[in-house]
Amino acid sequence: MHIGIIIVAAGRGTRAGGELPKQWQRLGGQAVARWTLEAFAGRGPIVLVIHPDDRALAEAATQGMDLRLVDGGAERAASVLAGLEALTGDKPDKVLIHDVARPCVSAAVIDAVLAALATRSGAAPALPVTDALWTGDAGLVSGTRDRAGLYRAQTPQGFDFAQILAAHRAHPGGAADDVAVARAAGMDVAIVPGDEANLKITAPEDFSRAARQLRGQMDIRLGNGFDVHAFEDGDHVILCGVEVPHTHKLKGHSDADVGMHAVTDAIYGALAEGDIGRHFPPSDPQWKGAASNIFLRHAVDLARSRGFEIGNIDLTLICERPKIGPHATEMTLKMAEVMDLDSTRISIKATTSERLGFTGREEGIAALATATLVAS
């Protein structure tokens, strides 16, 4: 089954508060839209339908993701139709249409919709209404309604691609959702089990509810690393892969890159995988004079092989001299290259120790690093 995916993100989301439309607001460290897109990654081509004014926001929120941005229309149905038309070249058998404001959708809900599409032309998740239903008038209960047979609709709503495309092209407009469009065209839509966690961010308080759901799915590890190398005669030091002219060099078995060593140890620490010495024993002559990016790259690859991505790195170099500031940008870019990581996730800063202790006496350089790893 070849599946196309449409994420509808053209709404303005004004009820959710905040300065930006809700889909571009941050939730647990990244845009709402990015969580939603990640839930569908790898299932097929993705079209993200946006408001034309939001293109820069959408590009920033989806950096590095494999998807197409398509401008939506004035109404939701027009946006969905724009998404469907954009997928025609992919010739999908089925299509999933999902609200961007439901970032907590689980793989189980998506799988249930797809399973039902094997035998039905449409399928959508829903939850039976369990609360009592009232009508109200002027603050008073004016009646009760039978809740039997009533459902709360969720997304993704899945359809046979050719049929829903024809249904949207033929629909006069004003439909509540894609299921209404499908039914107007005579399609059967199966109800599959929805999920309370698959909430739609609508009001400001929904952000914290969604963040709690997503945190439950997150495995976050924190590691620290500390390293010291002494000065000896020389004319430069290697710090974070950058050659910095100085009156001494750093003494060590490898290139003595104290900054890279601390970061490497922080990553090993987050993985509970010991330190550089365990993976690259100093007793082994093959690491003599080695460039430390070999160690850092090993730690990053080990993290990724365990299913973790580097969340961020924060490194503090402690020395009186050389001055780090003029080289910090180059160091950050070098580390980003070695780690294959966005440079905005890498912080490199420096401090003196106010002339106190071994760093104050300029006997060497110390480095302190923190790394977070996030299960991906």
> Which stretches of the chain bind Mg ion, using CB under 5 A?
227, 261
* Tokens 């799988």 sit on residue: 111
**CB closer to Mg ion, 221 vs 229:** 229
**CB closer to Mg ion, 213 vs 264:** 264
Q: What is the smallest separation between the CB atom of 268 and Mg ion, expressed in angstroms?
A: 12
147: left (phi over 0), alpha (psi -120 to 50) or beta: alpha
Strand, helix or coil at 103? Answer: coil
Q: What is the smallest separation between the CB atom of 221 and Mg ion, expressed in angstroms?
A: 22
**CB closer to Mg ion, 49 vs 263:** 263
**CB closer to Mg ion, 5 vs 366:** 366
Q: What is the smallest separation between the CB atom of 229 and Mg ion, expressed in angstroms?
A: 6
Which residue has the CB atom at the shortest distance from Mg ion? 261
**CB closer to Mg ion, 206 vs 227:** 227
Q: Which residues of 33-71 are buried (b: 16+ CB within 10 A; e: fewer)?
A: bbbbbebbeebbbbbbbbbeebeebbeebbeeeebebbe
Specify whether the CB–CB gap between 302 and 250 falls below 8 A: no
Specify whether the CB–CB gap between 155 and 102 falls below 8 A: yes
DSSP states of 172-208 as a string? -S--SSHHHHHHHTT--EEEEE--TTS----STTHHH
Q: How far apart are CA 293 and CA 337, in angstroms?
A: 10
**CB closer to Mg ion, 127 vs 291:** 291
Q: What is the smallest separation between the CB atom of 367 and Mg ion, expressed in angstroms?
A: 8
- The residue length of the chain stands at 376
Q: What is the smallest separation between the CB atom of 265 and Mg ion, expressed in angstroms?
A: 8
Which helix (H) or strand (E) is 280 found in, with range? none
Q: What is the smallest separation between the CB atom of 114 and Mg ion, expressed in angstroms?
A: 51
